[in-house]
A and B are shown apart, each in its own frame.
Chain A
Amino acid sequence: MMASGASRYDFDRMGTIFRASPRQADVMILAGTLSKKHAEFARRLYDQMTEPKWVISMGSCANTGGMFNTYATVQGVDRIIPVDIYLPGCAPRPETLQYAMMMLQKKIRRESADMKNNTKQDLTTQTGRKARLI
């Protein structure tokens, strides 16, 4: 994420600028392992973001818990936060994050303006059951 923000990959030219506060952010990038202790705070940051909002889960650890198959790690951030795009990789290349951002822009363009059709909050879990996170 640092590399994609810096001059070589340069997020700014795609209109992506890092913000210091979740209240000014549209996209949340979960970059790395989420421990169970911090799951609550990550969810709180997500709740503080204003609608419309999107989430990118970056890397194996955020996607599934990765190599940390232990008692203290959240096994996939989609257990607590609805995720739009999952980035594979351990760690993902800067290009991967750039590409994910482009895919997300594509996804946003396809979405209709009214939030009625926003199915983002319908979260289908790995077991195939439909969950609704409010």
Chain B
Amino acid sequence: MRKYVPKDNVQKKAYYTDRFHVVPSVPRSKVEEGSHFADVMKTMGANVKESYIEIGQLVIHIAPEDNFKVMKMLKETCGYTQCSEQSAVDYLAKDNEFELFWQLLNITVAKRIRVVCRLANGAAIESIEPLYKSANFAEREMFDMFGIKVNNHPFLKRILMPDDWEGHPLLKTYPLHGDEFASWYEVDKIFGKEYRDIIGPENRDPGKIDIKDTKRFSRIGYEVPFAAEYNENEEVPVEYSETALVNYNKKTSIQLDERR
């Protein structure tokens, strides 16, 4: 049987209270001799710092300055002609580094490779747009979301957020509900900053109920006119209609069964 845990206040607590919980990792295996990936590794030579196979897919770690060279070799020698995904992971709090990855696909042998590198905070990476056209938008998105600069990119500007946006939303330090700039962005842009007082802050609480609001919420037991002023002192007795609701405090007029 499962151990009994008190359930009061359970929704306010974090899901994981176990400090020593270790997230299970995907098993990694070595590259087999004679396989397609072994040939790839031979071609890569000393450029690869670390390599393993995860879920049938080769993962190679490289130095960030080698990325164009490695990608060119993979494309021209090994036949990885498609770059399906490219982005970054924020490890700034732990190592002050980003982990950049490129997901490559070889359609002739149906194999995938992930190229991974660690990039220091504030450093720039070389663009692989001359090799893979799909990297154009992916690198722009990476710049937009993480603020990682890309050298020799043809058109490096924000792709998802507006051009005058402040901050990079996928950084772990960026709040989900947005910072001060984000929460007033549309108001500042359309009406100007002086309209902040008139429009008021965003309501981020989906379950918010205002007792003084007579426009959207009805009163229980009595009615007030639409958009009436809220009067704190008014005492309205709760009255139940005899016909619509049954008042269980009184005996009903019709007693069906004498024995009750």
Contacts and interface: CB of A to CB of B under 8 A. Distances in A.
B169 interface: yes
Contacts, number: 72
A74 B175 CA distance: 16
A126 B200 contact: yes
Interface in A68-83: 69-72, 74-76, 79-80
B199 interface: yes
Contact of B198 (A37, A39, A131): A131
Nearest to A129: B200
Contacts of A133: 191
Contact of A36 (B174, B185, B200): B185
A24 interface: no
A79 B187 contact: yes
Contact of A69 (B160, B169, B177): B177
**Contact-size category for B:** 20 to 34
Contacts of A43: 190
A128 B217 CA distance: 13
**Contact-size category for A:** 20 to 34
A39 B202 CA distance: 14
Interface in B175-204: 175-179, 182-183, 185-187, 189-191, 195, 198-204
A12 interface: no
A36 B162 contact: yes
A64 interface: yes
Interface string B153-179: 000000011100000010000111111
A64 B186 contact: no
A69 B169 CA distance: 14
B198 A129 contact: yes
A36 B184 CA distance: 9
B206 interface: yes
Contact of A72 (B169, B195, B202): B169
B203 A71 contact: no
B186 A80 contact: yes
B206 A74 contact: no
B19 to A, nearest CB: 29
Interface stretch (B20-28, B37-45, B207-215): B207-215
Interface in B123-159: none
B161 A37 contact: yes
A127 B213 CA distance: 9
Contact of B210 (A72, A74, A128, A131): A128
Nearest to A78: B199
Among A64, A72, A129, A132, the most chain B Cβ lie within 10 Å of the Cβ of A72
Contacts of A36: 162, 182, 185-186
Interface string A120-134: 000011111101110
A40 interface: yes
5 contacts: A71-B176, A75-B204, A79-B187, A124-B227, A129-B198
Interface of B: 160-162, 169, 174-179, 182-183, 185-187, 189-191, 195, 198-204, 206, 210, 212-213, 215, 227
Given A40-B189, A79-B199, 17 more contacts: A36-B185, A39-B186, A39-B190, A40-B186, A40-B190, A69-B177, A71-B169, A72-B160, A72-B169, A79-B202, A80-B186, A125-B198, A125-B200, A127-B200, A127-B201, A129-B200, A131-B200
